[in-house]
Amino acid sequence: MTFNYVAVMMLPLALLSASAMAQQSSDDEEITFDFYGKANVSLQSNDDGASTDTELESNSSRIGVKGGRKITDDLEVIYQLEWQVDLADLGGDDNLKSRNQFVGLRGSFGELTVGRRDTVLKTVQGDIDQFSDYVADVKGLFEGENRTSNTISYYSPSFNHFQVAGSIVLSEGDTQDDGYSMALSYGDEALDATGYYFGAAMDREVDGYDIERLVGYTKVSDTMFGLMWQQQERVDGTAEADGFVASVQQPLGQFRLKAQYQVIDFGNGEDDALSLGVDYKLASSTKIYTWYTGRDRQTIEAKQRYVAIGIEHKF
């Protein structure tokens, strides 16, 4: 990593420290606290090309707490502590797995955090992945879906729907360089403030890979269409590959119909996945669902098929 890059990323911290020292904190400022979670369990039939089985799957079920406290009118300390829990298989000490866990500061300068957090290349995908946390999650075929420790993250304020973000992943070894992730986005991920969303991001030396990613999605009437392109290679220049994801989502009363296709070409073979799914909303926080995923993986000479039916409740 070059000195210039570190200086640019540390500038918001320096400015923030000066601002914080210039203003006196108050003990009676507003404190926010939110306990939340998601329980998602499915009965799933798995055919990985070598064997078949049927089992219960806990699809990234989680619990967490997040919040903050006003220090001044323009400065807030924020935190998030989140764990993945397994409702189907693992128990005891193996049941909890660390997810996003960080502390930081937020103000007119943006948001700066330190700890364990999704890289900005991962978050730039927004809501394009219609099968996140299932077999068809884009991480099944693509690199780059990283949640890294020893991470400094910065998100700028939105300027006319533009936002820049960056992550520095500090290396713990002398023989390995620090990694970094940079992103630029335009629009609204939820498609509320704008009817479109676009993002571009890159990783350098993050989890052993260099990656470029472009993503965009919009709505035509009530139908959401999305497309993501990615190029990736190991930091030593091997395993070069590129591919794309195309997704569509259609609400129909209490139902939500979903489809997604993903493919990646390694030069000596392609891996692809086609997924179809239906969600049925029982309440604002509860749904039942079913989906099918078929993957043809030339790189490992396997045809994989998965079918699931499950329930999700958020709180």
Mind listing the pLDDT tens digit of every residue in the chain (315 residues)? 443 444 444 445 444 443 444 344 445 567 889 999 999 999 999 999 989 999 999 999 999 999 999 999 999 999 999 999 999 987 777 889 999 999 999 999 999 999 999 999 999 999 999 999 999 999 999 999 999 999 999 999 999 999 999 999 999 876 778 999 999 999 999 999 999 999 999 999 999 999 999 999 999 999 999 999 999 999 999 999 999 999 999 999 999 999 999 999 999 999 999 999 999 999 999 999 999 999 999 999 999 999 999 999 999
Model pLDDT, residue 29: 63
If DSSP codes are grouped into helix, strand and coil, which group holds residue 272?
strand
Q: Which of 105, 104, 130 is nearest to 223 (CA)?
A: 130
> Which residues on adjacent β-strands are paired with residue 39?
313
Residue with tokens 């068809």: 136
What does the alpha-carbon distance between residue 282 and residue 259 come to, in Å, rounded to a whole number?
21
Q: What domains lie within the chain, and their CATH numbers?
A: 3-18+34-220+232-240 (2.40.160.10)
3-state DSSP: the chain helix, strand, coil percent, rounded to 5? 10, 60, 30
- The model's pTM is 0.88
Tell the burial category of 10 from Cβ atoms under 10 Å away from its Cβ (0-12, 13-18, 19+): middle
